[in-house]
Amino acid sequence: MTRSLGEVLADRRICICVGAGGVGKTTTSAAIALGLAARGRRVALVTIDPSRRLAGALALSELSNEPRALSPEHLAPTGLDLRGEVFAMVLDPKRTFDELVTQLAPDEGARERVLSNRIYRELSGAVAGSHEFTAIAKLYELDRTHDYDAIVLDTPPSRNTLDFLRAPERLLQFFDARTLRVLLAPAGIGARLAGRAGAPALALIRHLIGVDLLGEISLFLSAIGSLIGGFRDRASAVASLLQDPATAFVMVSTPESEPVRESIAFASQLRAAGLPLAGLVVNRYHPPVPQRDAATAAALSAAIGEALADLVLAAGERAQVLAARDQTGIQRLEEALGDVPRVLVPLLESGLGELETLGAVARELLP
Ligand SMILES: Nc1ncnc2c1ncn2[C@@H]1O[C@H](COP(=O)(O)OP(=O)(O)OP(=O)(O)O)[C@@H](O)[C@H]1O
Ligand SMILES: [Mg+2]
């Protein structure tokens, strides 16, 4: 029998919530973090979504790059008995990248040369996948410090979530020995780029960073030269963190057809990358409603009058249509994703407060 999501996550140190836009990734990540804290764990809840949604979901005015402990008083409205703790943070990709350079630079001179370089300052936005890489690099660091015994990552809405998985690989490509040999050849990059021999290098740089900042690149490369070995090692360590058996990918979807289609496509990309799903959360579903037979309709009509009874019955029919639609979506997900732990989280009332909502979702996910 398939294990429950709670049983699967009990063995994992890292949980990465992925899925289409707007399906409830942030809500699910926060609820999983709370659910794990209710089981006594010390949890870091990390988001790379620059919008303030995680802070909002946690009823906080803001979150920063530093882990912030959520007090039991603040979390009281969740109604959860939190034996552990939750620390929440929003990744600032730029700062995290600077921290990485600071760690990897062999000395202060090298660090200053890199940090003050204009290309470097553009880098976190310019290198394809660097934002995602930074997130995973931060996970790696949080994991290595052993300050937390679980880390939950909320990912941003992404059309192409594969970018996220390929980020370490792309950064490795950027620092790849062959690439750099071309760029850092003794003749100097300026000379090479000016001459015909530079054309392939030029095309390569454009390909790798996706923008044309060539004038500054030579300076950047000589500045960053001393860090390359460290970056390479870090990128491969980070890549292997994604493959680690203690890392769990949890797919969040809603039962509507478009998110279902995206989730199925993404799950197959994950599988192809050797990163099987550890769980599926179908969020905001409409539970099945009992069929009304003629006798019930007549009894209802007798009790509250025909006009009101008609309204009630019409509402019941609408609920049935939504529930039937959701069953179709859930079935498609189950068929495509196979035997993974699955949790259905119903559409909750909109009148609940943020923390009440999180508590309710946490109880559904990790009962
Ligand atoms: N089970 C639920 N019942 C009712 N509302 C929900 C439920 N889950 C999430 N929501 C609401 O749906 C909205 C989107 O949720 P959330 O921000 O978690 O999605 P997301 O996948 O993180 O979105 P994005 O892709 O934009 O980051 C929020 O307003 C949230 O409160
Ligand atoms: Mg979100």
User: What are 130's two structure tokens?
Assistant: 């660097």
pLDDT at 279: 96
- Taking ligand 2, which is a single-atom ion, which protein residues have CB atoms under 5 Å away? 25-26, 49, 53
Residues 76-88, mean pLDDT to the nearest whole number: 96
Q: pLDDT tens for residues 356-366?
A: 999 999 999 99
Tell me which residue has tokens 């000589």: 222
Q: pLDDT tens for residues 265-301?
A: 989 988 888 888 999 999 999 998 887 788 888 998 9
Cα 297 from Cα 20, distance rounded (Å): 40
338: alpha, beta or left? (left if phi > 0; alpha if psi -120 to 50):
left
Task: Identify whether 122 is part of a domain.
Answer: no
Residue 194 confidence (pLDDT) above 50 = no
Q: Count up the domains in the chain and report the number.
A: 1
Task: Identify whether 53 is part of a domain.
Answer: yes
Closest residue to atom 28 of ligand 1, CA basis: 24
Q: pLDDT tens for residues 138-157?
A: 888 888 888 999 999 998 76
Q: pLDDT tens for residues 284-343?
A: 999 988 877 888 889 989 999 999 999 988 888 899 999 999 999 999 999 999 889 999
pLDDT at 169: 73
Phi, psi of 20 (to 5 degrees): -70, 170
Task: Identify whether 309 is part of a domain.
Answer: no
Q: Indicate the pTM of the whole model.
A: 0.84
Task: Identify whether 22 is part of a domain.
Answer: yes
* C-beta 356 within 6 A of ligand 1: no
- What is the CA angle 287-290-295, rounded to 5? 160
Top pLDDT among 295 and 8 is at 8
Task: Identify whether 336 is part of a domain.
Answer: yes
358 CA to centre of own chain: 17
pLDDT at 190: 45
Q: Which ligand is nearest to the CA of 283?
A: 1
Q: What is the DSSP string of 94-126?
A: HHHHHHHHHHH-SSHHHHHHHHT-HHHHHHHHH
- What is the CA angle 13-19-21, rounded to 5? 135
Cα 35 from Cα 44, distance rounded (Å): 12
* Cα–ligand 2 centroid distance for 24 (angstroms): 7
Task: Identify whether 170 is part of a domain.
Answer: no
Residue 269 near residue 249, CB atoms below 8 Å: no
Q: CB atoms < 10 A from the CB of 118, how many?
A: 12
Task: Identify whether 189 is part of a domain.
Answer: no
* C-beta 117 within 6 A of ligand 1: no
Cα 344 from Cα 322, distance rounded (Å): 15
Task: Identify whether 39 is part of a domain.
Answer: yes
Range of the domain at 335: 5-105+130-163+245-288+326-365
Residue 352 CB-density burial (10 A; 0-12 exposed, 13-18 middle, 19+ buried): middle
Residue 100: CATH number of its domain: 3.40.50.300
CA distances from 119 to 122, 219, 283 (A): 5, 8, 42
